[in-house]
Amino acid sequence: MALRTVKKQEKREKLYTIDEMSALLQVERRKIVEWVQYRRIPYVLVAGEKIRFRISDIAEWVESRTRTKPAYKIRQTL
């Protein structure tokens, strides 16, 4: 039984606060709050009221929004 508890704890992922996520993403705190309000960023509610973020969810979210090609063509001047 103790071994099962240890394995569950090893799989547990750190949850980040709004301030920590703001620092990691290098955006203002109010922008993170806005994204949460409009459900633009994945988050977890802890105890029904505390907003937290899983780094794996955020990494996937950032990757899905990373452009591999420019959205517009850069005009070349010769």
**Domains of the chain, each with CATH number or no CATH:** 11-57 (3.90.105)
Ramachandran angles phi, psi of 38, nearest 5°:
-95, 10
What are the respective helix, strand and coil percentages of the chain, to the nearest 5? 45, 15, 40
Distances (CA, A) of 22 to 18, 37, 71, 75: 6, 15, 26, 34
Q: Encode the chain (78 residues) as per-residue pLDDT tens digits.
A: 454 554 555 578 899 999 999 999 999 999 999 999 999 999 999 988 899 999 999 999 998 888 776 666 655 554
